[in-house]
A and B are shown apart, each in its own frame.
Chain A
């Protein structure tokens, strides 16, 4: 099992650009989520999904969209990047209790 994979590992964007952060898991977990972590801070929940076709907002959803068309994939879309979205983004999947985290995507918005 590859577990939870995220691409890209690093990304630099200009203000106003859009992009999609990819997340995939091969553990057949129903639950998936996206977090952001700013320097020296805890993780903040952006969006989460309890199954294919079902998504919901977390603490900080503004500026981000998600969709869950398959159990395996949960992409995060930045609609119009802003410097405030500079952060490390973590994707996680879960069978219902323990969450398994990916290695993260480090995003810089100039």
Chain B
């Protein structure tokens, strides 16, 4: 199973774009990259998933370079309510065995 490495914490200001990078050097051919958000005392919530290049939805973008050994979650114009822990996961949807890393604690400041 591919392990992931993320920064432990980040600070940002409201209205800024935030980019959180995840390293996954051992990613396998069938693995997808998924990001989750977790608020205190709640279960994680799905943000975005991708395999390669760029994926965008209504809340975030996910950039994956050609070698797929890293990925970057981009949150446009963050607000105070985006303060949370963000997890990068790498896994094969066919096996359903996903391993969470330690996550990145994002703090958005006014």
Q: Which residues of A contact B (CB under 8 A)?
A: 4, 31, 33, 35, 41-45, 48, 50, 56, 58-59, 90, 92, 94, 96-104
Q: Name the B residues within 8 Å of A102 (CB-CB).
A: 43
The 5 closest A-B pairs by CB, nearest first: A101-B43, A98-B46, A43-B100, A42-B100, A31-B96
With known contacts A96-B93, A97-B32, A97-B93, A44–B43 Cβ distance under 8 A: no
Which B-chain residue is minimally distant from A30 (CB atoms)? Answer: B96
Chain A: minimal CB distance from B86 (Å): 11
9 further interface pairs, Cβ-Cβ under 8 Å (given A44-B100, A103-B42): A35-B100, A45-B100, A58-B97, A90-B43, A97-B34, A101-B43, A103-B43, A104-B41, A104-B42
Interchain CA distance A103-B101 in the complex, whole Å: 20
Contact: A43 with B44, CB < 8 Å?
A: yes
Chain B: minimal CB distance from A70 (Å): 18
Q: Name the B residues within 8 Å of A98 (CB-CB).
A: 34, 46, 49
Which A-chain residue is minimally distant from B89 (CB atoms)? Answer: A99
The reply on B54 being an interface residue by CB < 8 A is no
With known contacts A42-B87, A104-B41, A99–B46 Cβ distance under 8 A: yes
Q: Which residues of B contact A (CB under 8 A)?
A: 32, 34, 36, 41-46, 49, 87, 93-103
Q: How many inter-chain contacts with C-beta < 8 Å in the A-B complex?
A: 55
Q: Name the B residues within 8 Å of A96 (CB-CB).
A: 93-94, 96
Chain A: minimal CB distance from B7 (Å): 14
Q: Name the A residues within 8 Å of B102 (CB-CB).
A: 41-42
The 17 sampled A-B contact pairs (Cβ below 8 Å) are A33-B98, A41-B102, A42-B87, A42-B103, A43-B100, A45-B97, A45-B98, A45-B100, A50-B95, A58-B97, A90-B44, A96-B94, A96-B96, A97-B32, A99-B36, A100-B46, A104-B41
Contact: A59 with B99, CB < 8 Å?
A: yes
Which A-chain residue is minimally distant from B95 (CB atoms)? Answer: A50
